Each structure stands twice: as C-alpha cells, then as structure tokens.
Amino acid sequence: DVRTLSAVSRTPLPMLDPTSGNQSAEGAAASREGLVFKVEDRNSRDQQGWAQVVSAAYRWLGRDAGRVSVIWAPPQRASLAERGSALSQAAAAGVPFRTRMIEFGEFDPADVDRMEQEREDDLVFSARVASMTQPPQQEQQQGTGQDATGA
C-alpha cells in the first residue's frame, strides 16, 4: 500500500500518490518534517563518501583537490523574513559575522568570503570619506603670549 510506504520511508504521500494532494497546510508541514529528517540523515551518512568521490574525480583530472568538504544546502529552506530575524538575533547574541552568515543566513562560505572583503572595503571607504569631511585642524600658537593678530 502506498500509504504504508509513505509512512515507513518518511516520504510525503503526495510525492508517491499525486491524487492524495488534498491536505491542510499543517498536515503538509508535518509530512515534510519527516522528509527533512530523512534528508538530514542521508546527508550526514553520505558526506564522507561524496568527498571521496570528488577527491577521486580531481585526481583523475590530474589535479590536487586538497581536503574536500561537502557542504549540503539545508533541506528545509527558511523564508527571507525568518533568515533576517535569525541573523538579527544571532548578532544581538554576539555570534561572529562569518558564523551568522553561514549558519543562519544560509550563505555559501565562498559568498561569505566575498561579503567579508566587501565589508572591509566599505570600512576603508567610510574612513576615507570621514577624513575628507573633517575640517582642517587649526594650529594654536603655544607659549608666545601673542594672539592671532600678532599683537
């Protein structure tokens, strides 16, 4: 029976039987939850194997891949609002920028490298603009007893 297969394999029923698509939003979310756990389990099991496959492919091409790390996308995507809220809360809790972007913002580490460079560029630019907009400091005559008119 398809329903039993769906329950045992933690696969949402509409994926196996398109005619069973009439569910409430809550029921659909509950059925997806099992699938998310299943995907997370498979990702953790397959991570080392896929790293070995990629490493072997690089060796076959005559290149050195170094240490290969497989980075899986989250099986359940958060909305932009949820990610923004999580990023704000993590920043308030003192979580470092890179960790926030990867763990809560769901950005790829290569994208975070680019973001960090852009942040540094922005800081340098802001410092330059601030130095150009400051009025020049007037030199004060010290210890001569003369005022600005020379008297």
Domain definitions of the chain by residue range: 77-133
Residue 140 carries which side chain, given as an amino acid letter?
A: Q
Which is more confidently placed, 121 or 14? 121
The answer to pTM > 0.85 is no
CA 25 from centre of chain: 27
Coil/strand/helix, residue 44: helix
Q: What pLDDT does residue 111 have? A: 94
Tokens of 131: 């130095």
Q: What pLDDT does residue 21 have? A: 59
Report pLDDT digits (tens) over 72-125.
888 888 889 999 999 999 999 999 999 999 999 989 899 999 999 999 999 999
